[in-house]
Amino acid sequence: MREYTSAPLVTIADNATLTDALFRHAAARPDKILIRHKVAEEFVGMTIGEFRDHVVATARGLVAHGVETGARVGILSHTRFEWTVVDYAAWAAGAVSVPIYETSSPSQIEWILRDAGIELLVVENAELAERVEQVRGEAPALRDVLILDDGALATLAADGAGVGEERLAATRASLDADSLDADSLATIIYTSGTTAQPKGCEITHRALMFTAEASIAMLPEVFEPDSATLLFLPLAHVFARMLQVGVIQGAYELAYTPDSRTLLPDLAKVRPSFLLAVPRVFEKVHAGARLKAHSEGKGRIFDAAENTAVAYSEALDRGGPGP
C-alpha cells in the first residue's frame, strides 16, 4: 500500500492553549472591535480588551466557586456573547467546558450532567433552570446553577473579586502535570442523542486550535484582516464552536443573534463579510428574501440580482470574471 504525507499548514506549540490568542490580541490591540451583541435590538460593539476583561472576571468567579483544573463547567443557553465569555473563562480557569443544547429535555440534561460530571452549570433563563431543577437530584457532582438573565456574569465577577491574577496566569503558563497544555482536554461536545443517549466527544485545546488555524490558512479570501461574521447556529454544535474559536484566534469580528427568526434583519444590520452555515439555512434565507421581494413588487429586481450573483460565481469558478 502506498502512503502519502504532506507537511501540515500550521503547527501548534505544545504549551499553547485556547486563551493564548485572546490575551495576545488584547495586549497588542485592545481597542479593536471583536464582539457585536444585541442591546435593545441594536448591535453594540465590544473591544478585545473589554471581552478579555469579561473573561478574566468570570474565570476568577469560577475559581471562587471551587472550579479547579480539569473541572467540568456546563453551558445551557442559546447563542449569545455570554456563552463565549463562559467558554473562554472556563479555559482560563483550567476547566473543561461542556455545552448542552437549549432544546434538550430534562432527561437528556440529566444524562449529560451525570456523564460529564458537571460541577457548575450556567443556564440562560429561568425556564432552562427549571428543567435542570427537575433532575438536579440525579446529578451529584452539580454544586452551582447560575442564570445568565439573572446576572450570572456579574455574580461571578463579584464573587471572584478576591481571586488574584496570579492564579489564572499560573494556570495558563505552567507546564506542571496538573496544569494546561495543548493536549489537555478543552471541551466535551455531546451528540444530539436522536438514536440513543448522547455521546460525549472529548476535544483537546490542540484539536480546536489546529482546525481553526488551518481553516484560516486555507481560506485567505474569507479570513481577511477586517472580516466579520454573524453567528446564529447553536454553540453546542462543533461547527459553530469552531467558527467562534477561529474568529477569536484571528481577532476578526463576531456578532451574535440567538433567534434565527430575526436572521434577515440582523444580516442587514451587521452586514457580515462571510457567513458559515449548513445548506438548509441558506435555502431558508433565500426563500424568505425572495418571498418578501416578490410580495413587495420587487421580484424582477430580486431575480435580476440573483441571476447576476450566480453568473459572477460561475465566472469565478472559471478563473474570471473577465473577457
Rounded CA separation 171/178 (Å): 9
Please write the tens of the pLDDT for every residue from 69-124.
899 999 999 999 999 999 999 999 999 999 999 999 999 999 999 999 999 999 99
Confidence of residue 323 (pLDDT cuts 50, 70, 90): low
- H-only helix segments in 251-298: 263-270, 279-295
Note whether residue 48 is domain-resident: yes
Note whether residue 8 is domain-resident: no
pLDDT value at residue 175? 41
pLDDT value at residue 174? 46
Round the average pLDDT of the chain to a whole number and report it. 91
Confidence of residue 288 (pLDDT cuts 50, 70, 90): confident
Note whether residue 14 is domain-resident: no
Q: Do 250 and 309 belong together in one domain?
A: no
Q: Is the pLDDT of residue 173 over 70?
A: no
pLDDT value at residue 178? 55
Range of the domain at 235: 19-260+272-277
Mean pLDDT, rounded, for 42-58? 97
Amino acid at site 188 = I
Note whether residue 312 is domain-resident: yes
Note whether residue 267 is domain-resident: no
Confidence of residue 276 (pLDDT cuts 50, 70, 90): confident
pLDDT value at residue 143? 96
Mean pLDDT, rounded, for 40-54? 95
Number of domains in the chain: 2
Q: Is the pLDDT of residue 9 over 70?
A: yes
Q: Is the pLDDT of residue 177 over 60?
A: no
Q: Do 310 and 227 belong together in one domain?
A: no
% of the chain residues with pLDDT over 90: 75
Distances (CA, A) of 10 to 202, 217, 227, 231, 297: 22, 8, 20, 25, 50
Q: Is the pLDDT of residue 179 over 80?
A: no
Q: Is the pLDDT of residue 29 over 50?
A: yes
Q: Do 187 and 316 belong together in one domain?
A: no
pLDDT value at residue 283? 87
Q: Do 204 and 134 belong together in one domain?
A: yes
Q: Do 225 and 312 belong together in one domain?
A: no
pLDDT value at residue 172? 53
Is pTM beyond 0.85 here?
Answer: yes
pLDDT value at residue 260? 77
Q: What is the CATH number of the domain that holds 227?
A: 3.40.50.12780
pLDDT value at residue 169? 67
Q: Do 181 and 123 belong together in one domain?
A: yes
pLDDT value at residue 313? 86
Q: Is the pLDDT of residue 211 over 60?
A: yes
Distances (CA, A) of 19 to 94, 113, 141: 10, 25, 26
294 three-state secondary structure: helix
Q: Do 42 and 179 belong together in one domain?
A: yes
Task: List the Cα angle 227/229/230 in 5-degree steps.
Answer: 165
Confidence of residue 192 (pLDDT cuts 50, 70, 90): confident
Q: In what order do the strands lie in the sheet with 33-39?
A: 42-47, 33-39, 253-256, 228-231
Q: Do 225 and 313 belong together in one domain?
A: no
Q: Do 127 and 188 belong together in one domain?
A: yes
